[in-house]
Every structure is written in structure tokens, then in C-alpha cells.
Amino acid sequence: MKFILNYFSSVKLAITLLIIITLASILGTLVPQHRTEAEYAMHYGQLAPLLIKLEVTDLYHSWWYMGLLFLFSLNTAVCTLTRFGPKWRKAFQPRVESEPSKIRTLKISGEMKLKAPLVQAAEKVAATLKSRHFRTRQATHEGRVSILAQKKIAGLFGSDIVHVGLLIILAGGIISGFSGMRRMLTIHEGRTLEVPEAGISLRLDKFQTDYYPSGAVKDWKSTLTVIEGEQEILTQTIEVNHPLSYQGFMFYQRNYGYDWQNPRFEILAQKKDDPDFGDQLNLGLGEKTLLSDGQTEVEAINFVPDFIIGEDGRVASRSNQPNNPAVLIEGRQQGERLFAAWVFSKFPDFGQMHSEKEHNFSFQFQNIESTEYSGIEMAKDPGVNFIWAGCILLTLGLFVAFFWPPSEIRVALEQAQERIQVTAGGIATKNKYAFQTEFDTILEDLRRDK
């Protein structure tokens, strides 16, 4: 037990672990993570099964990386705990008496002689130190007055605060890993979706995409109403960077999409030889309508949002986005097919007409109406509060550690014939130059008004 404690209280172990974890982390950025076995086989050949077996392909969640982080946490905890007691005593229950011979061995030290009687001399030294914001303690022992002056002593604990913060962050990470959950929700405008995990229903009142004048997307906004039972609890508009938080569940605007189940098309039918002819058609998929010439029937028989002709020569949709919407319309006269044509909303002049007979029609695909849905990610992460608490401590501790440098001055005063022999020495682990200057100034002050 003692051996284990000693082992884990070693800073050498911490440094070794830091180096190993750093190298492992680098490895994880060099080998692409979470790819398919086939991709690994292609890239790494013979090495692929080994990489997969050692979980290098999901390195940051692998048992051995977790294990390293665990050892590192244990090391941090033991180091912090074993050093805390002595540090606490040093700060709050310090030994005040010091021997002049020991003071002289400190890196920063100085000596002088004062004329006043011992008690007054000690008072003067203490007052000078206090005027420089040192906290002083005095002790008299065998005719020698010892003064211990400390400043910014909280700075000693900066690193401990950092370590505690770090441990809380790692604990938060474990909690997130075990009890966090995420799920994608797809809600159509005007509809309500049950969310059993949270015991609520969500209604999407409105979905909106904002654009910049250039046409680039500025933001997506979903107005959501939280319904518990029959009751509407709250309505809030979420957008990217501004999620909805409800009883530990977060709802993020993630993406959006179009529902191409029931699109409607606005199409203008014209005749090349008759400028007065212009029929405004409004069709759904599979719907027919008779043109105003009274004999031509037009039907929308197919639609793709992102038109492409695949390698097999067939029409397909490249994506679900309306990048190149096209509708296939067919014209008939007296039950006989007259033409079939793909009409493009973005390329009005481009049409693929397959005409069986001579005709004069041309079509313009003016608009499509479809319902959009909003992609909302639901997440619950009980670890997150630990993370924030840990982050606050981590940051606070770092600023304390680096911007609140503690220092200590020890002074011994002894009667030496007519005068008082003053021996002073100081310790500062950080900010040594500034401390040296301060120490010299204090001694200078004491010498000046002897």
C-alpha cells in the first residue's frame, strides 16, 4: 500500500504519463478515427487488423487511453493530497523561529545592524514589513526575536486548485460518457413530436431560414413549444448557438431538410406560335389538368430535388436539397402521348423533350412548394455541470498560481554588543526578480532610518 502511494505521489510518474498521453494523442490524429474496416485495410494493409485490435481506430475511447487517463488522475490526486498537508502547515501553522545561520543559507539574504533596543527594533522591522503588505508573526526564544512575514500566501494553493479542477473535469467526462444521451429529432412545421425520454412533446410552430443579401445562409430558426401532458409550458425560438434548455434536456438546431412527399409545382405553359396563350398550372405529383386549349392534358409524373443523370443513364437526385429541382411532365391528346419533358426551375431554357408528335408547347417551372422539416438534436448530459465547475476551478487556480506569487521573509534579531544584529532572508518560488527587488528595498528602508 505504502509502496503504491509512494509510486503515485511521484512527479516523475506524472511527467512520464504526460509524455505517453501526448504521444498517444498525436497518434490518434495521424490515424483517421472511426472509419470502416475496408478503408483501414486499404490504407494500412497488413497493419489494419492490429490497429483495429489495439483500438487505435477509436483511440480516445480505447481501454488503454482511458487507462492512461485514469492513472494520470490517480497520480494527480495522490500528488495533490500528499503535498497538501505540509503546504497547509507551512501557510497557516508555520514555525516562526529561525536561526540566523539557517537564514543565511537562503538564496536571498542580507544582514545589518540596528541601534534601537531589541523590542523596538523588532517592532520597526515588523512595521516595515507590514507596510509592504506582509502578514507577520513574532516569536521570542532565548533572547532572540524571530519574525516570519508572509505575503500572497494563497498563491501556494494555486496548483492544488488547478488539480482539483482537472479531476472534477475528468469525473464530469466519465459521467458524460456513461449517462449522457443524444438523439436526432425531425419535426415538420405545424406538427407535434412526442419525446418520451423527456416526458414532453415538442411542436414546431415555425421554421425559418434567414439569408444574407448574397444568398448565403445566415441562420436557421425553429420556434418550438414544449408541451407536457395537455399543457403548453413554454415557447422559444432556437437557432444555431442558442439551444433550448428544459429540465436538463437541451435542444439544438442542427440541420434542416425538405420533405418531398407532397410537393406542389407552379408551372407556366406557353405556346410558341401563340403569344397570348399562357396557362398557370398548379400541380401535385400524379395530378392531371386540362390546358385551356381544351384538348391537351398535362400530368406531373416525377420530381427530383437535385437532378442528375446517373452512370446507368437514369435520372436520380444527387441530394435531398433543392439544388436543381426538376419535374417530369407528360402531355396527352385524346389519350395518346404527345410529349414528355423534364422541366428545370434553375435552367428554364434547358429542357429534355421527348416528343412523339409535333407540338408547340413550352413550359416554365416557376416555383415549388414543399414543407421543410427542422433537424433538432436532443441531448442530456449530467456531466456538464461538473465540467463547468472544474473549468472555473482550473482557470481560477491557474491565475492564482501565476499571478499571485507567494513570498516569505524570515528575520532574526539578536543583541550584539551595543547594537542589534538583524539577519533577514527570503523565499519566493515564483517571480524571483521582483521579489529580490522588494527584499532589497525593505532592507534599504530599514537601513535608511536607523
Partner 1 sequence: MNESTLFAIAFFTYIGAAFFYFFYLFGKRENLAKMGYTLSILGLVIHTAALILRTIESGHAPFTNMYESLSFLAWSAILAYVIIEGKFKLRKAGPYFMLIVIGLMALASSPLMPANATPLVPALQSYWLWLHVSVTLLGEAFFAVAFVTSIMYLIADSREKRGTAKEGAISSEKLDSVSYRCVAIGFPLFTLGGLVFGMVWAYKAWGTYWSWDPKEVWSLITWFVFALYLHSRVVMGWKGRRSAIIAILGFLAALFTYFGVNYLLAGLHSYA
Contacts with partner 1, residue ranges (CB under 8 A) = 11-12, 14-15, 18-19, 21-22, 25-26, 28-29, 33, 60, 173, 176, 182, 212, 214, 216-220, 239-243, 250, 252, 254, 377, 379, 381, 384, 387-388, 391, 394-395, 398-399, 401-403, 429-430, 432-433
Rank residues 18 and 42 by Cβ distance to partner 1 and give the closer one: 18
From 423, 447, 410, select the one nearest 115 (Cα to Cα): 447
**Do strands 351-355 and 108-114 pair parallel, antiparallel, or not at all (unpaired)?**
unpaired
Q: Which is nearer to partner 1, 251 or 307 (CB)?
A: 251
- Closest contact distance (angstroms) between CB of 132 and partner 1 is 21
**What's the closest the beta carbon of residue 87 comes to partner 1, in angstroms?**
13
Smallest gap from Cβ 405 to partner 1, in A, equals 9
CB of 398 to partner 1, least distance (A): 4
CA 421, 426, 427: angle at the middle one, nearest 5?
155
Decide whether 17 or 368 has the Cβ nearer to partner 1. Answer: 17
Backbone angles phi, psi at 379, to 5 degrees: -140, 140
Cβ of residue 244: shortest distance to partner 1, in angstroms? 11
What is the SS3 assignment for 113?
strand
Residues in the chain, overall count: 450
176/364 with CB nearer partner 1 = 176
* 11 or 139: CB nearest partner 1: 11
Residue nearer to partner 1 on the CB measure, 18 or 119: 18
At its nearest, how many Å lie between partner 1 and the CB of residue 428? 12
Three-class DSSP category at 362: strand
What kind and span of H or E run contains 418?
A: none
Give the nearest distance from C-beta 222 to partner 1 in angstroms.
12
- Closest to partner 1 by CB, 287 vs 377, is 377
Instruction: Assess contact for 114 and 121: CB atoms under 8 A.
Output: yes
Q: What is the DSSP string of 230-299?
A: TEEEEEEEEETTB-EEETTEEEEEEEEEEEEEEEEEEEEEEETTEEEEEEEEEEETT-EEE-TTSSEEEE
CB 213 within 8 A of CB 338: no
The rounded distance, in Å, linking the Cα atoms of 256 and 239 is: 11
Provide the minimum distance between the beta carbon of 252 and partner 1 in the complex, in angstroms, as a whole number: 4
Are the C-beta atoms of 149 and 411 separated by less than 8 Å? yes
> Shortest distance, CB of residue 380 to partner 1, whole angstroms?
10
DSSP string, 115-138: -S-HHHHHHHHHHHHHHTT-EEEE
Q: Which three cell numbers stand for residue 304?
A: 427530383
Question: Are residues 431 and 194 in contact, defined by beta-carbon separation less than 8 angstroms?
Answer: no
Taking the least distance from each CB to partner 1, the nearer of 137 and 218 is 218
Cα 383 to Cα 165, 196, 243, 295, 392: the distances in Å are 14, 21, 18, 69, 15
- H/E segment holding residue 346: none
Q: What letter does residue 35 receive in the DSSP assignment? A: -
Cβ nearer to partner 1, comparing 54 with 217: 217
Identify which of residues 27 and 139 has a Cβ nearer to partner 1 in the complex: 27
Minimum CB separation of residue 59 from partner 1 in Å reads 8
